[in-house]
Amino acid sequence: MDNKEIILDVKNLCTTFVSDQKEIRIVKNVSFQLKRGSALAVVGESGCGKSVTMNSIMRFLGRNARVTADSIQYNALRDGKVTEYHLESIKKPHGPEMRSLRGPEMSMVFQDPMSSLNPVYKVGDQVAESLIQHFHLKKAEARQRVLEMFRKLGIPDPEERIDCYPHQFSGGMKQRVVIAIAMICNPELIICDEPTTALDVTIQAQIMELLKDMQVKDGKSIILITHNMGLVAEMADEVCVMYMGRVVEFGSLEDVFDRTSHPYTKALLRSVPVLGLADGQKLETIPGSTPNPADLKPGCEFADRCEFACDKCRGKDIPAYEISPGHRVRCVLYDTYPRAAGEEEVGI
């Protein structure tokens, strides 16, 4: 694929945190591509590295984080021409170069709208801030753009609500305001970190419908971080399954749901409640517990919880194998298949 078809290309992303003079690897050689105008779901248990991966791409991490990668390439498409940005080479995460991309090109919807909004500023001013900063609009013009966005997102009485404070909004309305902040500069890439957490199912459906409309009607590219497999089935074109900082399975929605291959992905799907579950039938759980990332040993991180574990799973890290075009699995059960591109070099 050429750069016009791929909006984000991540190769061997690693993120390490320094704590008490000890280095802890949280994200390990993560690689994926996001097709322009498509939706990618990143799934896994809490603590598997989903949010850290996306914050590493957006360069939102603190000073104790060290981010390295062969490449984090964002391809901006303007007037039919592609401009490449190599995010891994930007030395100042909070400098002007990165700030110029956040908002107009790529944005993030954070997990908790309660902590994403400043309680002492009117919501309209918070949404308009990016317009004024990036496009130098006057306040009156920025206000009209915010009103248009509020109408698009279904916020009732926008002329009145634009001058309200966050505490005057419900949880669902706060989340719409957070989405408005992410969308107001019309970015091409939107990263959504658990956008429906703590919302009731009706509001969840409304928020997901908004995001799907942005993808389908406006051609936006979306990365959805979630542990809700129902949202994945509804939203995603491709799925990236993570466990302990690694991508253990990657493929199309059909690959991951209908041709599930990694033992962890299978266990994850078996633990999801489904309609028609017989009375008294219990959901399956994944045995064991998530290991401490500071005490990990070489080999498959899932080995101690896997029913198929063998000696080959331990002692050395496991590469990803391409079991069908675009469907990659990091498991020795598939070691007769060719290694995925790039795995030979990095020795994952």
Strand segments (E) across the chain:
6-19, 22-35, 39-43, 65-68, 71-78, 81-86, 106-109, 189-193, 221-226, 238-243, 246-252, 321-324, 327-329
Q: How far apart are CA 223 and CA 195, in angstroms?
A: 11
pLDDT of residue 345: 46
What confidence score (pLDDT) does residue 346 get? 44
Residue ranges of the chain whose pLDDT lies below 50: 345-348
- pLDDT for 91: 83
What does the alpha-carbon distance between residue 10 and residue 333 come to, in Å, rounded to a whole number?
Answer: 26
0.85 cut: is pTM over it?
yes
69, 268 contact by CB (below 8 A): no
Tokens of residue 266, six digits: 């299978």
- pLDDT value of position 113: 77
Identify the pLDDT of residue 348. Answer: 43
Please report the pLDDT score of residue 275 as a whole number. 61
Instruction: Report the 10 Å Cβ neighbour count for 75.
Output: 21
Give the up-direction half-sphere exposure of residue 218: CA atoms within 13 A in the CB hemisphere: 16
